[in-house]
Amino acid sequence: MKKSILRYTQFMGICTLLGFSFSCQKKEIIEEKFSTTTASTEQKEAVKVDPTTSLRAYSASSFAVVNKASTVAANGTKIPIVFTQGLFGFGREELLGLKYWGGGFKDLQEILKSNGYPTYTSNVGPISSNYDRAIELFYQIKGGSVDYGKAHSDKFGHLQKVGKTYPGLYPEWDKNHPIHLIGHSMGGQTIRYLLGLLEKGSVIERSIDGHAPIFDGNRKGWVKSITTISTPNSGTSLENTLGTGIVKLVKDVAISLANLSNTTGIDKVLYNFDIEQWGMNRDPNESFLSYVNKIGQSKLWASQDEGAYDLSIKGAMELNEFATTSPDVYYFALCTKATNTGILTGWEYPKLTMFAPCIPLVYPYAWPLPPGVGNYTNSNASANAGVIIDKKWWANDGLANTYSMRGPIGSKTVDYTPNMSIEKGTWYAELFNGYDHFDIVGLTIKDVTPLYLEHAKLLSQLQ
């Protein structure tokens, strides 16, 4: 228990540093906002407070999928779950072994396993594009040597092969041994991209002799279900409100982290950015500071082949053109909301429980300050890949818009209710009110174990 507390303390320290870095990066706009936040918070209008979603009630509900319940694949084996993390995510062995899925006290992978649900955790590039992450995820699950494809690698000017070979979390993986994919935040985009690669492959890559088999596509049936958790499936309007954009924010956060780690002596606990494709190997004897300063100079940031671009509405909508909703897969969207609605204006105000560094990022500032996610609108659709940003986009979880979490715009989405019939090719969206972007994977003190157990149970019942 003492060890758990120590880990948790260290973990929250790192989270705070990360959050602090995020907030600092917005200072050119936010400094002004910070000085008015307190006053604004005190003087804000009355808000409607929806109760926090009770996971206990959720846990007690029973799922009766209309199709006959089945816990096994056609060949009699249990269908495993694979977790994929979001931006700045980390693997099970990084950050002193703290768990992205569960935090300091809980280990959701092991909890699900001990309840009879085989579960694996992947560890893809924390700042890489969803294309690169999907390729990595394929080899991490199936096994083999990472190959980003010649056409893609030439286009963006990075290495096609980086000498990374994986034994495979589930080498049996094929249409007779399917998997359930669960992704948090940007991880939801990654798993959707992987599904696109499995089913469609890549026209341009397969025209090249010697291409990797992944680009042939024709792998329908390999994925039983997709679950996106707090995923900005159509991007986040945070990009529109930041001024300097998410790419610069992410780059600056990475470099700030290195500086902070250097001054605080936590150099060894931080992780690898896994961008060897950009020629960025971390020398075992190299300080984290030197490593990240090197990353700051990378041409990655000037490309559109990195994660932050995919989080913008424009980037996400481009991704959605490829990663379309498959009629052969079950889809679930677990959506989070950590804001209260203003009764007069409809603006969305952060709840006090929201992860503190996120509050100034999304706060609905009144004119003459530039608006935040909670009240940003833009009727110029052509500026946002055809998307009009209106009040639907205001509710958020501190980083992403709740509306965008419900599935890609244009997909068939329905609200999930227990006991309803579940069909392939339709997104089933469920709202978790009072949970912010980090609560929902167990990175805070909220215990989300019942949610994951119930969801694993639901997945196990899908035909």
Contact call for residue 397 and Zn ion (CB under 5 A): no
How many CA atoms does the CB half-sphere of 298 hold within 13 Å? 32
- Rank residues 301 and 365 by Cβ distance to Zn ion and give the closer one: 301
Query: Could you tell me the smallest distance in angstroms from the CB atom of residue 300 to Zn ion?
Result: 9
**Active-site option among 230, 437, 439, 460:** 437
In 3D, which of 247, 243, 344, 352 has the Cα closest to residue 303? 247
Residue count, binding to Zn ion (CB under 5 A): 2
Instruction: Choose the binding region for Zn ion from 54-62, 115-123, 189-197, 300-308 (rule: CB under 5 A).
Output: 300-308
Query: Could you tell me the smallest distance in angstroms from the CB atom of residue 82 to Zn ion?
Result: 21
- Rank residues 186 and 359 by Cβ distance to Zn ion and give the closer one: 186
Q: Active-site residue 152, yes or no?
A: no
Q: Active-site residue 59, yes or no?
A: no
- Rank residues 132 and 276 by Cβ distance to Zn ion and give the closer one: 132
Instruction: Choose the binding region for Zn ion from 45-53, 124-132, 178-186, 259-267 (rule: CB under 5 A).
Output: 124-132
Query: Could you tell me the smallest distance in angstroms from the CB atom of residue 127 to Zn ion?
Result: 12
- Rank residues 153 and 413 by Cβ distance to Zn ion and give the closer one: 153
- Rank residues 127 and 456 by Cβ distance to Zn ion and give the closer one: 127
**Active-site option among 21, 23, 129, 185:** 185
Binding map of Zn ion across residues 303-322, x = CB under 5 A, - = no contact: --x-----------------
> What CA–CA distances, in Å, run from 80 to 72, 111, 423?
10, 14, 20
**Active-site option among 310, 397, 436, 439:** 397
Query: Could you tell me the smallest distance in angstroms from the CB atom of residue 149 to Zn ion?
Result: 8
Residues 131-160 that bind Zn ion (CB under 5 A): 132
- Rank residues 86 and 442 by Cβ distance to Zn ion and give the closer one: 86
Instruction: Choose the binding region for Zn ion from 35-43, 49-57, 299-307, 332-340 (rule: CB under 5 A).
Output: 299-307
Instruction: Choose the binding region for Zn ion from 68-76, 128-136, 237-245, 424-432 (rule: CB under 5 A).
Output: 128-136
Active site residues: 185, 397, 437
Site residues, Zn ion (CB under 5 A): 132, 305
